[in-house]
Amino acid sequence: MLEWLPSSERCMAKVRSATPTRTRRKPRVTASDVLDLLGEEYGPIVWKPRYDAVSELVFTVLSQHTSDVNSERAFNNLLGTFGSLEAVAEADVQKIAEAIWIGGLSRVKAPRIKEILRQVAQERGSLDMSFLKEMPLDEAKAWLKSLPGIGPKSAAVILCFSLGMPAMPVDTHVYRVSKRLGFFGEKTTLGQSHDALEAMVKPQEVFAFHVLLITHGRRVCKAPRPLCHRCELAWGCPSRELFVQEPSRRKRNKS
């Protein structure tokens, strides 16, 4: 009904149409508000695979506890040194560690990558992991989580980014923004939040929802101090008042 309005007017229209009265509850942001309003701000979000599944798997291990820039350098070095992941699977662990040194934690990641590649090759006869796409989502997640060092977030990244499956990766940004928006309770752990968020959107919206929340977390809903005055979702965010002080209270605090 509000599609024809520009984004800022649509926010106001939502507030007006849901203005709290004594009997009416405060408006709350929903998943479709995120897709709609943040989609207009940061979109359009178009899925396209970054790597094939086994490369995404190795990249995910390399990206643990390091920046995107360094994990990309480590991945490029790895392929530049060995030529293929099949060759990495046969390589000496010390040599793998040297190739990925730039990404940090190379002594942990090198044996992990080798063992993962060994397990995939042994179980499937090759490093082709496209079979995951034919599995039910829960089984595909469980298969990936049985590999060393692969938890719910890494499994979801591989399935969603590489294979286009509706698995919701929840990193620290997605978790923080969702919690502030009240999409799950205070006691929901990061591990539990994957399923909770996945259930909130249609399968075809999972990727966009993830990208929009992560972008919002990086640009506006930052930790520890979110920029609520610039937020398209402030009208219905239950955490907004925790971060935005009224002018009178600000004055009192100064005196």
Q: How far is the CB of 29 from ligand SF4 (least distance, A)?
A: 7
Among 243, 250, 251, 252, binds ligand SF4 (CB under 6 A): 243
Span near ligand SF4 by CB under 6 A; candidates 17-25, 100-108, 161-169, 233-241: 233-241
Binding status of residue 112 toward ligand SF4 by CB under 6 A: no
28, with CB counted inside 10 A (0-12, 13-18, 19+), is middle
Residues 167-186 that bind ligand SF4 (CB under 6 A): 177, 180-181
Kindly provide the b/e burial profile for residues 211-249, where b requires at least 16 CB atoms within 10 angstroms of the residue's own CB.
Answer: bbbbbbbeebbeeeebebeebbbbbbbebbeebeeeeee
Number of residues that bind ligand SF4 (CB under 6 A): 15
How far apart CA 45 and CA 207 sit, in angstroms, is 8
* Two structure tokens written together for 20: 């709290």
In this structure, the number of other CB atoms found within 10 A of the CB of residue 34 comes to: 24
Q: How far is the CB of 197 from ligand SF4 (least distance, A)?
A: 15
Binding status of residue 82 toward ligand SF4 by CB under 6 A: no
Span near ligand SF4 by CB under 6 A; candidates 75-83, 159-167, 187-195, 230-238: 230-238
How far apart CA 32 and CA 200 sit, in angstroms, is 9
Q: Three-state DSSP class for 21?
A: coil
Q: Draw the binding track, 207-226, toward ligand SF4 (x: CB under 6 A; -: no contact).
A: -------------xx----x
How far apart CA 50 and CA 63 sit, in angstroms, is 14
Taking each continuous run of H as one helix and of E as one strand, the counts in the chain are 16, 0
Q: How far is the CB of 3 from ligand SF4 (least distance, A)?
A: 22
Binding status of residue 228 toward ligand SF4 by CB under 6 A: yes
Span near ligand SF4 by CB under 6 A; candidates 8-16, 68-76, 183-191, 237-245: 237-245
Binding status of residue 233 toward ligand SF4 by CB under 6 A: yes
Residue ranges binding ligand SF4 (CB under 6 A) = 177, 180-181, 220-221, 226-228, 231, 233-234, 237, 239-240, 243
